[in-house]
Chain A
């Protein structure tokens, strides 16, 4: 250990504690919450906070599948482009709902993950996510009286300017949606009115008729209104859908889950209790069993907890129920490296080595086992992260981070503390290390196997 090491470890601990403290009240010069960096024109800002998954804060999660099989034959837009367009449309719709921190992500080429924290109304979530909002204007079909046909090419809502709701009729009680075509569809709209003046046209949303107005006069611009017996609410919804644009491909729900916020809060409470009790049990055991090194392990464990939590807040890792379970599990694994080292330490002491040599030997000889066993766990965690979805990913991430951090705390921090502790004369008692005083050494059997 160099003289610089302890200072670095202390610095890491201080930073970790700072990150862990909720709601930073003091502002850095930039006046921003958390971390802000400005390098030249680049500006990086990240708020430091604990991100709770949907299962802990309540909300709705949907996994949507792009139904490419429902696209008209011959359409050859690449899957990734469709996915991106669909996400943009959904993003606009969700933004207007005012959901804080929604998640909209592509998973695999053909799926989209949506998380709406705080929204437990699954019907609303479904509407936002799966309503195609494909608007089409159809004209009378001369061949079949009373029927409507698509124009050639179809006149759709693809080229609409932002729509808005106004109130018409007596006492302005009748909500209607105002639209205006952009060029060149505005010309087609005027042409249409010339051709079909006095006749009915049909306005369809997702292949369902929403109104069939009669054209009373020839239009002079690309403007028009849709009246379909709306309530204020439904008119606003339609306007919103039209403004967000139509989905480029129909979507279906592959998976949905929803949790009410109260249930999430209950889970947080239970996990915290379980975690605290688990930690206390481990602490009590380590001190009782290993005495002084046990206390050192507890300090390392405290460091471990603080540092892991800081990393969760910084990356940020979204904590889910399974993620917390992974973290709680990693508490137990974190002491493994300590146990390996301490058992070696005891052995070396029993074989008659001095404290200083024993500490050094214990570290050296326990290291390969610690490295391999951590590698095994990190490999499993990596695989789980790669193949898993949702809950599994959360578990793998916290377990993996936990094991990696424990490697740092259990190897470096524990060693540093042990080396420090044995320099304090009053603590240099073998009994404090759980080993008999030297007089008994002679009675111990030879530690190596002899003969067959």
Chain B
């Protein structure tokens, strides 16, 4: 009960946030934080459920952004359509990339996603007719406006856009936290904990790895769409390897294998750059240092500090049982 009350209070607090922070600058940070939370949580699925590190998540973010922007610019589709099409398209691309990439694991998966990241950025830079290359796409339309009780609400304003982002954040959090409660959910965890054992009871690990990867990349695509229609200008620089590394840093510093971890990591790494802006490039030195320290000394990240006192029980056996019920073909 207490947990639910806390959750409700947190959500209420977040909903009231823009009212408290009425400077456009703060509202801008809130929206950026929301987009980063979506990205980090989606990368957290790959790190947490697959136990792999993707160095190409920025590329999927970029695919979503470019797909959504181009659908609006070239086909004049409204935002609602381009948002969903971009999300599905990115997930589909993730699925296609997953077919080869998920045959690999560990170092090899990281290197393959690094290669994919390079290919996507090179394609964006070189398909000048479509993407305008390094100059970037400008003039991306805002999601428009609607009338509510006689007042016109435009998404060009920051507060409505914050709520739009918030809705996506909440849907993504709901989906992710319930991933293991869905019909095939436990199969994910079983696959991560012990792929051999999982496959011995009829859970096809590849199928679940593919599914998790496609879901994760689709969510990254939706973040891309949100970003494109907020910034109204996108260029390849926003989606390059440093972005992928930045996202991975969020997940790891926050705490992998949890949902709270990437959320905390994303909020931290959105706020820190604003606080440390005066230090210039020194902040990136700090992020590199933080990443090294966290990986070596606190592999569970910030979340690990709080949950240390709680006893973590090994849930693998029950999850395997549960997976066996659903996973049998």
- Do A and B come from the same complex? no
A positions within 8 Å CB-CB of B:
none
B positions within 8 Å CB-CB of A:
none
